[in-house]
Structure 1
Amino acid sequence: MERRAVIVAGFGFRAAADVAACKAALALAQSGHPAVTALAAPHDKIALLASLATALDLPLIAVTPEMLRSITTPTSSRFSLETRGTGSVAEAAALSAAGPDARLLTRRHVSPNRMATCAIAQGPAA
């Protein structure tokens, strides 16, 4: 049986974001990378991604505040640091959900309307 790497798209988004903004950020981040196998976002914002996860037939992973704060990200947003305790919510969500020893395939990409961000991380083969 072939073991496949876990590829997680992590999201961060403003309260006014919609699914279209998340889809746009995902498309930008996904370009040239392997297909994602799961979506992840902070637990208190996971509801917005439910329809996208269903449409893509992918599992949706809720990331706790503790998980977000435990990740050091290459991107550093002052707002993310102040509100979530991490430099990039999208990068931290992707890395947390992809598991131990995960690595970023792409830093966060911002949707054209600047309402959502998406980063892609790869975890070890499962």
Structure 2
Amino acid sequence: MPPKKASKDSTAKTSKPSKKPQSSDPFASDDEVEEAAARQIDDKEEDEPAAEKTIPKELLTRLLHEFFTKDATRISRDANAAVGKYVDVFVREAIARTAVEDLEKATPQLLLDL
């Protein structure tokens, strides 16, 4: 009878890790599993908030002062922030409603609606 090993080597018993997690659907192909994983990654990226671009406060103040009839008219910071939010929503809505080539055609009407 051959002698037994005195110590067990933990590296000798290594199991091969599976390359991909097994799907619970036996009829799913590898391509479908990869597409589902890609969709999950895309969903996670969409959930992350992107850096919002807003109209600079100085530009907004300048635009407002251009349309004031009296040069001495002043606007508070809170009112400026409220108008800024309103203009930001207006611009985003205008972009969402029109295609790129139609944006130039629709801009005059959108400005009249403002």
- TM-score w.r.t. the length of structure 1 is 0.24
- TM-score w.r.t. the length of structure 2 is 0.25
Give the number of the structure whose alpha-carbon radius of gyration is greater. 2
* Structure having the larger proportion of residues in helix: 2
* Structure having the larger proportion of residues in strand: 1
Name which structure has the greater RCO, CA cutoff 8 Å, separation 6+. Answer: 1
